[in-house]
């Protein structure tokens, strides 16, 4: 009997019990774990039947022992309350509740109001517009926190990601899009776990096409097998409850291509006949039963931060590990700064900057460095360095020392990589300064605790993680709700600066 078949039979034998328990997995303990992140964008506040669809999905999954993640729009939560749908709220509350913006498609949408913002004004604007919706979802559902954020329309903006803790949303950003991604796997950016560009590891099934069921089942089986071959991993599957009941998306009915009718003129989308909805529920149940039979674990957004725990934050690095990080950075053949993996811990360029500023800063101020040294997670710079960068020079230890002390003060004040580092009247780009930090630390470690006489700064070092952000011209923003010709180049520029914080999320 093949191992997979054995798992299938074991899973079938335990049908009806929660698949998140360890039953089937204990029996096949050597099978790498495959997690399925099943999420529902719960957003249609116009067609009342979408309330029933959300409730029915939540109840169906609860009966199957599966917890999913429902990402709720602020206006949807208020609407449920206004319609007296405590039954829907109670059914959804048995699952994980995330946040899907205040108004979703009313203009300006998130991408529209962030399109011309930098980092800091963008964060402030996001908090101003979106905190009220998060407050309402929490209030209506009686929750202290929401587990994740999802930006409408296959969009992603680093300002939103940075702002999540300010609106009381947990450190997970989950959506499906293509303009930032790392190896088709979850990644950390700005201290938030992102399940975004998942490539082959995202899948779903067309609900209203009977011919879609078998190929969708085959596809998910294939992904599970592939992930088991890779030692385990995550599959992302996303739906909208309204899809079960409408003929057209609620927002396309009202807000297409920048259209913005006043609230009094919002129209409910046309509804499907009941038999089509019934068929879709039956087909979806069959699809989910198939996935469950594969012996996977269903995980929620709230569980993901522990599954991908960032051990650098809790364990830090040892002295030999810091030296290894510095040697990689100081290598003359290095063309830039990239993330590094250090014994199962992921270290972003910003983490490297933070760790080495702390260690060399202690050296500059004559104090010892206590190891393991932890990185709390600073952000990337709020702007590019400017044109007049003066890298590639060797400067005196005294000049470098004073700059390090100033950078350390900047980090304490702003918790971000500085956009430029002054050496007297001139400045260098932070990536070139990081080359100097690495060279200074290597010299100190290799010459028995003596600082160097001179420090060579890097020259035109790239932040290599920027390559994981889509290039211009921007094609991925194709959501039909956006106003025509919306330029999102600036959003990507700001995202590129936050690529300092990009690093793979490692399963623990």
Taking the least distance from each CB to Zn ion, the nearer of 41 and 351 is: 41
Taking the least distance from each CB to Zn ion, the nearer of 39 and 191 is: 39
Residue 150 CB, nearest approach to Zn ion (Å): 7
Taking the least distance from each CB to Zn ion, the nearer of 171 and 177 is: 177
Taking the least distance from each CB to Zn ion, the nearer of 41 and 321 is: 41
Residue 316 CB, nearest approach to Zn ion (Å): 38
Q: What's CA 340's distance to the chain center, in Å? A: 19
Taking the least distance from each CB to Zn ion, the nearer of 51 and 338 is: 51
Taking the least distance from each CB to Zn ion, the nearer of 39 and 501 is: 39
Residue 9 CB, nearest approach to Zn ion (Å): 38
In what helix (H) or strand (E) does residue 69 lie, and over which residues does it extend? strand 69-72
Residue with tokens 């028995």: 448
Residue 100 CB, nearest approach to Zn ion (Å): 6
Taking the least distance from each CB to Zn ion, the nearer of 103 and 234 is: 103
Taking the least distance from each CB to Zn ion, the nearer of 239 and 441 is: 239
Which positions touch Zn ion (CB under 5 A)?
41, 43, 152
Give the whole-angstrom CA distance, residue 417 versus residue 413: 11
Give the whole-angstrom CA distance, residue 149 versus residue 132: 14
Q: Is beta strand 172-174 parallel, antiparallel or unpaired with respect to 192-195?
A: parallel
Taking the least distance from each CB to Zn ion, the nearer of 122 and 241 is: 241
Helix (H, G, I), strand (E, B) or coil at 124: helix
Give the whole-angstrom CA distance, residue 135 versus residue 141: 10
Residue 105 CB, nearest approach to Zn ion (Å): 8
What tokens does 347 get? 């270290």
In what helix (H) or strand (E) does residue 299 lie, and over which residues does it extend? strand 297-299
Beta-bridge mates of residue 195: 174
Give the whole-angstrom CA distance, residue 243 versus residue 445: 60
Residue 153 CB, nearest approach to Zn ion (Å): 7
Between the alpha carbon of residue 392 and those of residues 325, 386, 397, 420, 451, the distances in Å are 20, 16, 15, 15, 19
Give the whole-angstrom CA distance, residue 423 versus residue 427: 6
Residue 41 CB, nearest approach to Zn ion (Å): 4
Angle of helix 397-414 relative to helix 430-446, nearest 10 degrees, comes to 120
Residue 394 CB, nearest approach to Zn ion (Å): 53
Taking the least distance from each CB to Zn ion, the nearer of 246 and 290 is: 246
What tokens does 253 get? 């009915």
Report phi then psi at 291, rounded to 5.
Answer: -60, -45
Q: Are 126 and 159 in contact (CB under 8 A)?
A: yes
Taking the least distance from each CB to Zn ion, the nearer of 49 and 312 is: 49
Q: Is 507 exposed, middle or buried (0-12, 13-18, 19+ CB in 10 A)?
A: middle
Give the whole-angstrom CA distance, residue 389 versus residue 427: 6
Taking the least distance from each CB to Zn ion, the nearer of 100 and 138 is: 100
Residue 38 CB, nearest approach to Zn ion (Å): 16
Q: Are 490 and 374 in contact (CB under 8 A)?
A: no
Taking the least distance from each CB to Zn ion, the nearer of 43 and 354 is: 43
Mark 4-31 as b/e (b = at least 16 C-beta within 10 Å): beebbebbeebeeeebbeeebbebeeeb
Residue 43 CB, nearest approach to Zn ion (Å): 5
Q: What's CA 270's distance to the chain center, in Å? A: 34
Residue 73 CB, nearest approach to Zn ion (Å): 7
Residue 367 CB, nearest approach to Zn ion (Å): 51
Angle of helix 49-63 relative to helix 274-293, nearest 10 degrees, comes to 30
Q: Is 359 exposed, middle or buried (0-12, 13-18, 19+ CB in 10 A)?
A: buried
Residue 76 CB, nearest approach to Zn ion (Å): 10
Question: Which ranges in 64-149 belong to alpha helices (H)?
Answer: 74-82, 86-93, 110-114, 119-141
What tokens does 376 get? 């709390």
């Amino acid at each position: 009997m093949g191992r997979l078949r054995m798992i299938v039979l074991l899973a079938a034998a335990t049908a009806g019990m929660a698949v998140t328990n360890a039953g089937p997995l204990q029996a096949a303990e050597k099978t790498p774990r495959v997690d399925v992140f099943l999420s529902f964008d719960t957003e249609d506040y116009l067609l009342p039947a979408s309330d029933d669809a959300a409730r029915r999905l939540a109840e169906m999954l609860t009966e199957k022992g599966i917890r999913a993640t429902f990402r709720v729009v602020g206006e949807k939560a208020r609407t449920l309350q206004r319609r007296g749908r405590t039954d829907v709220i109670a059914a959804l509350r048995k699952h994980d509740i995330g946040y899907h913006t205040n108004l979703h498609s009313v203009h300006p949408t998130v991408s529209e109001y962030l399109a011309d913002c930098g980092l800091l004004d963008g964060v402030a604007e996001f908090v101003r517009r979106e905190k009220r919706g998060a407050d309402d979802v929490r209030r209506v559902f009686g929750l202290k926190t929401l587990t994740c954020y999802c930006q409408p329309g296959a969009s992603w903006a680093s300002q939103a990601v940075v702002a999540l803790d300010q609106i009381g949303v947990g450190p997970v950003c989950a959506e499906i899009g293509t303009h930032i991604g790392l190896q088709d796997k979850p990644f950390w950016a700005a201290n938030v776990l992102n399940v975004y560009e998942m490539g082959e590891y995202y899948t779903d099934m067309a609900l209203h096409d009977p011919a879609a069921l078998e190929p969708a089942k085959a596809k998910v089986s294939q992904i599970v097998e592939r992930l088991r071959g890779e030692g385990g991993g995550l599959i992302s599957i996303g739906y909208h409850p309204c899809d079960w009941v409408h003929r057209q998306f609620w927002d396309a009915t009202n807000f297409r291509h920048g259209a913005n009718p006043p609230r009094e003129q919002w129209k409910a989308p046309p509804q499907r006949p009941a038999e089509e909805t019934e068929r879709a529920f039956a087909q979806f149940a069959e699809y989910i039963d198939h996935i469950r039979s594969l012996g996977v674990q269903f995980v929620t957004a709230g569980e993901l931060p522990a599954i991908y725990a960032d051990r650098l934050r809790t364990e830090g690095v040892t002295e030999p590990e810091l030296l290894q990080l510095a040697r990689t950075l100081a290598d003359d053949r290095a063309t830039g700064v990239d993330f590094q993996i250090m014994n199962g811990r992921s270290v972003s360029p910003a983490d490297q900057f933070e760790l080495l500023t702390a260690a060399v800063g202690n050296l500059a101020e004559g104090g010892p460095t206590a190891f393991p040294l932890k990185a709390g997670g600073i952000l990337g710079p709020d702007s590019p360095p400017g044109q007049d960068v003066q890298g590639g020079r060797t400067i005196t230890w005294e000049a470098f020392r004073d700059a390090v002390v100033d950078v350390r003060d900047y980090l304490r004040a702003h918790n971000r990589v500085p956009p430029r580092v002054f050496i007297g009247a001139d400045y260098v780009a932070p990536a070139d300064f990081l080359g100097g930090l690495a060279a200074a630390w290597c010299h100190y470690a290799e010459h028995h605790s003596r600082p160097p006489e001179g420090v060579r700064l890097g020259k035109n070092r790239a932040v290599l993680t920027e390559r994981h952000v889509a290039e211009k011209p921007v094609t991925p923003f194709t959501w039909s709700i956006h106003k025509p010709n919306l330029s999102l180049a600036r959003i990507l520029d700001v995202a590129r600066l936050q690529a300092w914080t990009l690093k793979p999320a490692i399963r623990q």
